[in-house]
Amino acid sequence: METQYQWYPGHMAKAKKEMEESLKLVDVVIELVDARIPFSSKNPDVDKMIKSKPRVLLLNKSDLADDRVTAEFKKYYEDKGITVAVTDCKKGRLDRVMEPVREVCREKIERDKKRGMINRPIRAMVLGIPNVGKSTFINSYAKKACTKTGDRPGVTKGRQWIRLSKELELLDTPGILWPKFEDNAIGRNIAYIGSINDEILNLEELAVNLIDFLHEYYPGNVGERYGIEENGTGAEILPAIAIKKACLKKGGEPDTEKMARLILEDLRSGRLGKVSLERVPFV
């Protein structure tokens, strides 16, 4: 039977409560998901928590995902009425974010104007499960010499705002939610991208599943990367790759565990190509 992926950090309830407090302070939520697994990396509680607050969904790490699938996911969420931006926070194509933020905050901007508060910046909070790029997003802005505006009266101590421009202030601490392991495929997807500690995973099993997935959706990627024929199942291909790459144990047997780790590293760094690990469902 396949390993059941489970992961319950203890401080989840506290973090959630803090986030609910922070949500009261902001005009807009910038929710990050991993473009390779938009469903699996999207905590369904966000919708309940943010209610009708304006939100922009970032399909981040788009540089690692399959552009065609990312475009399908963008359309899927847009059809649900969610404003979406496709981003690569590492290379900082963040200009894409301000436009949709303005768009979802249009009502607030109009309201402020009517009240004569023309220069009140939009206040935003970044939110998402671990490893989707929240800190990278915040830091890429913070690096651009933005001033921290310090604690505010009535704001929980420790909360800092980064003034990005006259127009936008960002809460410097992201809201962290945890993935929902609603079915095992979600756990596996989160494990693929490296958001679960590898020490607690069966990496061989994970790599075997990955090879099968890639063989079906991206035929040729594995063969090309490792110089093998993609014949047989993942369980057969994994040792074949280990032999080809001379990844062997002392007795000359293929070291499938070590090879599995290398294959997962290759996936995570994009060396297996731009790969999306899930698909838009038929609706």
Q: What does the binding site for ligand G4P look like in residue numbers (CB under 6 A)?
A: 60-61, 63-64, 88-90, 128, 130-136, 174
**Cβ closer to ligand G4P: 61 or 188?**
61
**Cβ closer to ligand G4P: 133 or 254?**
133
Minimum separation from the CB atom of position 144 to ligand G4P (A) = 16
Cα–Cα distances (Å) from 56 to 59, 99, 124, 195, 268, in that order, read: 10, 10, 10, 23, 25
For residues 215 and 183, give the distance between their C-alpha atoms in angstroms, rounded to a whole number.
23
* Residue listed under structure tokens 């969610």: 82
**Cβ closer to ligand G4P: 236 or 265?**
265
**Cβ closer to ligand G4P: 88 or 169?**
88
Minimum separation from the CB atom of position 225 to ligand G4P (A) = 18
For residues 237 and 263, give the distance between their C-alpha atoms in angstroms, rounded to a whole number.
12
**Cβ closer to ligand G4P: 131 or 160?**
131
Minimum separation from the CB atom of position 4 to ligand G4P (A) = 24
* Residue listed under structure tokens 């899930």: 278
For residues 52 and 215, give the distance between their C-alpha atoms in angstroms, rounded to a whole number.
42
Secondary structure class of 117 (helix, strand, coil): coil
For helices 106-114 and 95-104, give the axis angle rounded to 10 degrees: 60
**Cβ closer to ligand G4P: 137 or 161?**
137
For residues 104 and 55, give the distance between their C-alpha atoms in angstroms, rounded to a whole number.
7
Minimum separation from the CB atom of position 49 to ligand G4P (A) = 17
Minimum separation from the CB atom of position 35 to ligand G4P (A) = 8
Q: Which residues pair with 18 in a beta bridge?
A: none
Residue whose C-beta lies closest to ligand G4P: 133
* Residue listed under structure tokens 């035929």: 219
Q: Which residues pair with 148 in a beta bridge?
A: 162
**Phi and psi (nearest 5°) for 103?**
-60, -45
Minimum separation from the CB atom of position 97 to ligand G4P (A) = 12
